Chains A and B, each alone.
Chain A
Amino acid sequence: MTSVKAVVAIVAVLGLSACGDDPFGKNKGGSDGITQSNLDPHSIAYFNETIGDTVLFDVDQSTLNEAGIALLNQQAEWLLEHPVNSVLIEGHADEQGTREYNLALGARRAAAVQSYLVSRGLTDARLRTITYGKERPLEICSDEACWSKNRRSVTVVTGGLGS
Chain B
Amino acid sequence: MKLFVKIAFVALMGFAVYAPLSPLAAPLRIEITEGVIEPMPIAAPKFVGRGNGAGRYANEITQVIMDDLTGSGLFREIPASAHISGIDNFDAPIQFSDWKSINAQALITGAVALNGDQITVKFRLFDVFAQSDLGEGLQFVATKGSWRRMAHKVADAVYARLTGETGYFDSRVVYISEEGPKNARQKRLAIMDYDGANNRFLTDANSIVLAPRFSPNAKEIVYTSYETGMPKVFLMNVDTLKRRSLDEQPGMTFAPRFSPDGSRVILSLTERGNTDIYIIELATGQKTRLTSGASIETAPSFSPDGSQIVFESDRGGKQQIYVMPATGGTPKRISFGKGSYGTPVWSPRGDSIAFTKISGGRFHIGVMRTDGSNERLLTASFLDEGPTWSPNGRVIMFFRETAGARGAPSLYSVDITGRNLKQVKTPNFGSDPAWSRLLK
Contact = CB atoms under 8 A, between A and B. Distances in A.
Nearest to B318: A60
20 contacts: A95-B401, A98-B319, A98-B358, A99-B211, A99-B432, A100-B298, A100-B343, A101-B342, A103-B270, A104-B270, A107-B274, A107-B275, A108-B274, A111-B272, A131-B231, A139-B183, A140-B183, A140-B404, A142-B403, A142-B404
Interface in A73-121: 95-101, 103-105, 107-112, 114-115
A137 B361 CA distance: 18
B383 A103 contact: no
A132 B432 CA distance: 16
A159 to B, nearest CB: 14
A112 B403 CA distance: 30
Contact of A111 (B231, B273, B386, B407): B273
Interface residues of B, number: 41
B336 interface: no
A155 interface: no
Given A104-B268, A107-B252, A138 B183 contact: yes
A101 B183 contact: no
A54 interface: no
Contacts, number: 101
Given A100-B254, A100-B342, A111-B272, A141 B312 contact: no
A112 B272 CA distance: 9
Where chain A touches its partner, the secondary structure class is: mixed
A103 B254 contact: yes
Interface of B: 181-183, 185, 187, 208, 210-211, 229-231, 252, 254-255, 268, 270, 272-275, 296, 298-299, 312, 314, 319, 342-343, 356, 358, 361, 382-383, 385-386, 401, 403-405, 407, 432
Contacts of A109: 273
A78 B203 CA distance: 40
B358 A107 contact: no
A135 interface: yes
A129 interface: yes
Shortest 6 CB-CB contacts between residues of A and residues of B: A111-B273, A142-B403, A104-B275, A98-B342, A140-B182, A104-B296
Q: Which of A103, A115, A132 lies at the interface centre, i.e. has the most chain B CB atoms within 10 A of its CB?
A: A103
Contacts of B296: 101, 104-105, 108
